[in-house]
């Protein structure tokens, strides 16, 4: 049987995609909307402080297109921390305006090969990779993916050496784009429907197109990559949330 890749795991991750009930929002009296927004801003501010203090990771994003309106992205040490965040979200007065449309649960993952025998306790680099704060870049792209298991293109029937060689070539592409794109890879085998989640961060959205397109020509992707939907967002810090719901011209 081919040897499984040994991995080390960090914080759990939850990508929580929401859609705003705009009809209900516009039917809500202005004074109540103002109070709801103030509460939402306080909530996002509290999570941003956790992100800055490296107690957890958090980011909120305005999503583009029809798939969702907002993304709340969390990284936390325990599943219970994510469950608590969901419970607090559901109990908030403004929660009824933000219906869930999709979510993705996973855990930050790094192969032992990339760790090069180091332990997270002794490596600031590994700590940054395994317990990430969300980058303050302008744009985000998220997509789930799996490795193909079909006939001769069955990733899991390749030897460990074959997979390592393919992933080395794959990693070189990411390395070439590292100055423009930050990536966080999370594993979801046994946790969600796909096998990995890929979250990319950049200040230039075109950088996402370039890195993903170039990887299409990599053998590991061309032969074995299967991709889910792509979600693209613009970062909303707590100060921008209010103006996203109520643009300045409408206040």
Q: Which residues are catalytic?
A: 143
Structure tokens at 116: 């090069």
92: left (phi over 0), alpha (psi -120 to 50) or beta: beta
What's the rounded Cα separation, in Å, for the pair 78 and 144? 21
Helices (H), 100-218: 112-115, 124-130, 160-176, 206-215
What's the rounded Cα separation, in Å, for the pair 72 and 20? 13
- Return the SS3 of 228: coil
Residues 6+ away with beta carbon under 8 Å from 28: 36, 97
Check: CB of residue 68 under 8 Å from CB of residue 102: yes
Check: CB of residue 18 under 8 Å from CB of residue 69: yes
Q: Which residue has the tokens 């969600």?
A: 192
Check: CB of residue 70 under 8 Å from CB of residue 60: yes
Number of Cβ within a 10 Å radius of residue 47: 22
Q: Distance of CA 166 to CAs 4, 21, 125, 144, 181, Å?
A: 15, 45, 24, 20, 21
């Amino acid at each position: 049987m081919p040897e499984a890749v040994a991995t080390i795991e960090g914080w759990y991750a939850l990508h929580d995609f929401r859609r705003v009930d705009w009809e209900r929002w516009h039917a809500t009296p202005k004074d109540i909307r103002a109070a709801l927004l103030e509460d939402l801003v306080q909530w996002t501010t509290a999570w941003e402080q956790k992100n800055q203090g490296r107690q957890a990771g958090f980011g909120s994003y305005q999503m583009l297109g029809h798939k969702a309106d907002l993304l709340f992205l969390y990284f936390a040490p325990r599943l219970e921390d994510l469950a608590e965040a969901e419970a607090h979200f559901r109990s908030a007065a403004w929660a009824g305006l933000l219906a869930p449309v999709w979510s993705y649960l996973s855990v930050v993952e790094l192969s032992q090969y990339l760790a090069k025998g180091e332990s997270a306790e002794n490596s600031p680099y590994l700590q940054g990779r395994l317990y990430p704060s969300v980058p303050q870049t302008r744009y985000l792209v998220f997509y789930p993916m799996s490795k193909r298991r079909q006939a001769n293109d069955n990733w899991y029937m390749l030897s460990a050496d074959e997979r390592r060689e393919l992933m080395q070539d794959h990693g070189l592409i990411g390395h070439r784009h590292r100055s423009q794109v930050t990536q966080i890879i999370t594993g979801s085998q046994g946790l969600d429907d796909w096998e990995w989640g890929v979250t990319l961060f950049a200040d230039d959205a075109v950088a996402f197109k370039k890195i993903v397109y170039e990887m299409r020509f990599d053998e590991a992707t061309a032969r074995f990559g299967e991709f889910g939907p792509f979600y693209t967002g613009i970062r909303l810090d707590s100060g921008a949330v209010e103006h996203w719901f109520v643009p300045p011209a409408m206040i």
